Amino acid sequence: MRCLSLARALADRGADCLFLVNGDAASVVPALAAIACRVVEAAPEAAVRAVHAAWPDGADAAICDLYRWTAPEERAFAAAARRLLVIDDLVAAPHHCDWLLNQNFGTDPAGYDGLLPPGCRRLVGLGYALLRPDFATLRPAALARRAEMGRPQTILVSLGLTDVGGITGRVCAALATIPDFARAEVVLGPVAPSIDRVRAIAAVDPRFRCHVGLENMARAMLEADVAIGAMGSSSWERCCLALPTLAVTLADNQRPTAQALAESGIVALAGDAAALDDAALQAAIAAFLDDTERLHRLSRASAALCDGLGAGRVATALLEGLA
């Protein structure tokens, strides 16, 4: 999703974009259906061949967003393009690139000392968060709405398109035991394991609405009072729209950012999905919804982090670097 946001910003500035994806990508991210895509193996040589099949002289720039690739694979992939941008979240391995983008909260650019080639430009921090433009467009309305917030009535449940471990179903089951809210908007990907469970809950509790894929997430975030969500790019979308969030971590790499955000008073942290039993999950949700003053503090703190204009900044930096 973050690469789609960057591709849109590049296209708005006149670029032609091609996605190289794995075979499961289209089923997980339906928005790819409207984008030029080629399915390739996750090997640099296969990716280079795919780029040259589209553009015989290669691309002007390539963007790599793969945890499994580091400097050796990126060096091989660089044969596909004049310049290479790498998106990283871990600050843990050497990279071969012309630009390094890490959009995560609390990342120190100096952490990349010794991991990048000379002259590599570091685009680090939430000023470069890759959000779609509709989030920045709706930000003023969201800030005005949060200022008048009372006890939450509309809850957005969005725990990732892949719904790791069926966490969405567990959250909805816990939420169904809580009486004092009006509506839960539940967003799932088309292959999420919780779909049947969430639909069963919605069949007996009219407060729940199940959305399998949701085109206008920005509007859903604007209209929600709070969110129960996973970490990842959606964290910065929620910050842009000042949406108070109870975060659940789903993977090891999410833990440091989640902890830093919680310690800074920007999100409430329920904990790791795998470690939370159902009683602890229900207690965390109930406590989160009950503390209206805390929700106001979370909203103000999150809004200060991200203005939603990062994709444009990255696109501008990339295109200026090619000039």
Q: Residues 262-292: pLDDT tens digits?
A: 999 999 999 999 999 999 999 999 999 999 9
Q: Write out the DSSP string of 161-206.
A: TT-GGGHHHHHHHHHTT--S-SEEEEEE-TT-TTHHHHHHHHHH-T
Rg, the chain, Cα only:
20
Global pTM? 0.88
Give the pLDDT of residue 30: 79
Mean pLDDT of all residues belonging to the chain:
95
Q: How confident is the model at residue 311 (pLDDT cuts 50, 70, 90)?
A: very high
The pLDDT of residue 318 is above 90: yes
For 240-256, how does the pLDDT look when each residue is reduced to its tens digit (9 = 90+)? 999 999 999 998 878 88
- Residue 241 is given by DSSP the state T
Give the pLDDT of residue 256: 86
What are the structural domains of the chain? 2-131+308-322 (3.40.50.11190), 133-303 (3.40.50.2000)
Q: Are 116 and 94 a contacting pair, CB within 8 Å?
A: yes
The pLDDT of residue 1 is above 90: no
For 9-58, how does the pLDDT look when each residue is reduced to its tens digit (9 = 90+)? 999 999 999 999 998 888 888 788 888 999 999 899 999 999 999 999 99
